Amino acid sequence: MTKLRLAIVGAGPAGIYAADILLKMEKQFDVSIDLFEQLPAPYGLVRYGVAPDHPRIKGIITALREVLDSGKIRLFGNVLYGRDITLDDLKKHYNAVIFSTGAIRDADLKIPGIDAEGSYGAADFVSWFDGHPDVPREWPLNAREIAVIGNGNVALDIARMLAKHADDLLPTEIPANVYEGLAQSPVTDVHVFGRRGPMQVKFTPLELRELGELRDVDMIVHEEDFDYDEASKTAIATNKQVLVIDRVLTQWRKREVGEASRRLHLHFYAKPLEVVTDDSGHVSAFRFERTVPDGQGGVAGTGEIREIPIQAIYRAVGYFGSELDGIPFDEKRGVIPNREGQVIDDVDQQLHGIYATGWIKRGPVGLIGHTKSDAMETIKHVVNDQPSWWTPVSPDEESVVELLKSRGVEFTNLDGWHNLDAHEMSLGEPQGRIRIKVVPRDEMVRVSNQ
């Protein structure tokens, strides 16, 4: 059986799951897999997109580590597709490529004032508090009243991180610069706005429940949002997740608002209209229209306009994929156009040898665990399409190493990740923490390759 060479661009959960599925097909498929990752460390959004106070979700890393440590995959970190390695390069060295580059940009929220000073995207803020090496080390945390737009898990992560006291994050892997920034925040009120009702939210019960467990933070909900229509009542009766969300919110409605130093407000039926600015162009208020259920699962405007004073606003209305050199891209959806993972061009023809999986394939929907079934769908076609794969002129495994070295690419490998992993854990050990992340890219590379 001839050994086939496969490249996977993106070493997050989607890429690693795809590699794992292929390796488990060894009886019918002898394949050598190389993972290319633009960051010096693997794991993608599990490392850089999950809030540091969510260790249960980060437990997924244990399963991903087992795949990487199987000895059957090579990792090339700190390698940027389109700059350090190109599609033409991949065709010369591999039989096929799977793109699993995810979605790391913020989706747009097109309302007046959204680009004002003091207005931020959730993705950038998440990258900052997760210690991403390519964002500024400092974040402007000088607002007392803050708005978060969105009703998904990311919106709740943003709200929780803004409202939570920095000292309560110390047991986590939060970087030192992030702790210092949050510790100086003067925040008193965080407002979360959703366009629809409380029974139509996209966040999970676990995320919601965690908000009510924050120390010295009062949860504030508004009775006007809980006059349920028939659709909401049906959702509660037929969907267990919605039922739990209703129970959590019902408990909060019974709470007495205390004298906490911070308050977290949930506003439903609020359609964003405008970010109001002051004379200097800085965020000063959020203006929205009160909505009501339209009887068809959506909402309708009431014409009632409200305004809440704020000094910062975060949009958490979804992530968006980024275009890749030489690969078709759907500008509206932010994905690589494909049929079940088979990449197609603008006339719906399959581009043989090129595949996609994860969020760059289907958009930023679903939880991390959904990427496994998504990868299985893609790999099914990868295997069946084998006769139409490329024929590389330089399939030798060392030829890729020589190529990167010839271009002066300071890449990291799996041993380097083990070095960085051990180093971060050693930094955290004296303080009783799991790890303290190394943030600067050059330091990550130096520690990895020492």
Same domain (yes/no): 89, 221: no
Taking the model in full, what pTM does it have? 0.91
Same domain (yes/no): 14, 148: no
Structural domains counted in the chain: 2
pLDDT of residue 367: 65
pLDDT of 305-352, one tens digit each?
Answer: 999 999 999 999 988 899 999 999 999 999 999 999 999 998 889 999
pLDDT of residue 72: 86
pLDDT of residue 439: 93
Question: Nearest CA to 162 among 262, 253, 250, 246?
Answer: 262
Q: Which of 298, 319, 340 is the last residue of a domain?
A: 319
Name the more confident of 106 and 221: 221
Q: With respect to residue 131, please indicate whether it lies within any of the assigned structural domains.
A: yes
| Mean pLDDT, range 53-65, rounded to an integer | 80
Distances (CA, A) of 266 to 8, 189, 219, 252, 274: 41, 11, 8, 11, 18
pLDDT-derived band at 369, boundaries 50, 70, 90 = low
Whether residue 163 has pLDDT greater than 70: yes
Q: Which of 319, 354, 389 is the last residue of a domain?
A: 319
Q: How far apart are CA 91 and CA 353, in angstroms?
A: 9
Q: With respect to residue 176, please indicate whether it lies within any of the assigned structural domains.
A: yes
Q: With respect to residue 445, please indicate whether it lies within any of the assigned structural domains.
A: no
Same domain (yes/no): 252, 310: yes
pLDDT of 261-315, one tens digit each?
Answer: 999 999 999 999 999 999 999 999 999 999 999 887 789 999 999 999 999 999 9
- Residue 155 has a CB neighbour count (10 Å cut-off) of 24
| Mean pLDDT, range 377-401, rounded to an integer | 92
Torsion of CA 137, 175, 122, 314, to 10 degrees: -80
Provide the domain limits for residue 155: 105-319
pLDDT of 129-144, one tens digit each?
Answer: 999 999 999 999 999 9
| Mean pLDDT, range 361-380, rounded to an integer | 83
CATH of the domain at 53: 3.40.50.720
pLDDT of 172-210, one tens digit each?
Answer: 888 989 999 999 999 999 999 999 999 999 988 988 999
pLDDT of residue 2: 65
Q: With respect to residue 71, please indicate whether it lies within any of the assigned structural domains.
A: yes
pLDDT-derived band at 63, boundaries 50, 70, 90 = confident
